[in-house]
Amino acid sequence: MKDCEIFSTLKVPCGSKIIIRADGRNFSGLSNILELERPYDELFANLMIDVCSDFFVEFSPRLIFTFSDEINVLLSEIPFNGRVEKLNSVFASYISGSFTKNIGKYLNYFNKDEPSNLKPISFDSRVIPLSDHGIIEYFKNRQNEAWRNCLNGYSYWKLREEYGKSRAVEILNKKKSSELHEILFERGLNMSEVPQWQRRGIGLYKKEISVEGYNPINKENVTSNRSKIYKDWKLPLFDNEFFNEILI
């Protein structure tokens, strides 16, 4: 019967690095149930950071980049012998489980008046094999997407304050970036003043930190360096210099 398992032997190409991208399934509907602040909710962002932290502790990747309901993971090692089916299924289920585990710390989901309306929370996952150069371009692309989401989201919700949903969509149709900036500026919002995590996303990676301690044998204060998961809410624009450290 094992021969009937479709694609069960499909593996990541030898020698490639891989990125895992996970996306929340039907999170637009979930955001309505959770009554999130629009266009950004800091409690939701903290929830996503906790999910990424759980993943980091479990699988020790090199970098996790998240914005909205999207999680991008650069793995340091490829587990499960590179089996794509296993990678996708385990990572999607792990992230879904972590999200469900952590949601109660930030948002009122399980105590809704009508629990029968609640549905299981799920993420999908895909494997993306890339070269070192491809990895840099990939994360630049996703950070650009985070910026587009930010600009479009603020434009839409600012217009929603004045117009209905259909009219807001109609006004924004085929608008250029410069025109969106003008719409927001006319309404008192300068996008350069929007929090950096909303414009560029949030990163998690290992960072060396100095720790002060005491050596009881020599009876002296000592300083040591330790690697710690760093949650970067003020990411720079992704460039080669940033990834030169990540890819070492």
Give Cα separations from 139 to 119, 144, 176, 195, 235 (angstroms): 32, 8, 23, 20, 12
The band of 229, judged by pLDDT with boundaries at 50, 70 and 90, is: very high
pLDDT in tens, 201-217: 999 999 887 667 667 77
pLDDT in tens, 31-62: 988 899 999 999 999 999 999 999 999 999 99
Cα 218 from Cα 213, distance rounded (Å): 12
- The stretch 160-184 carries a mean pLDDT of 93
- Predicted structure pTM score: 0.90
Structure tokens at 209: 């930190």
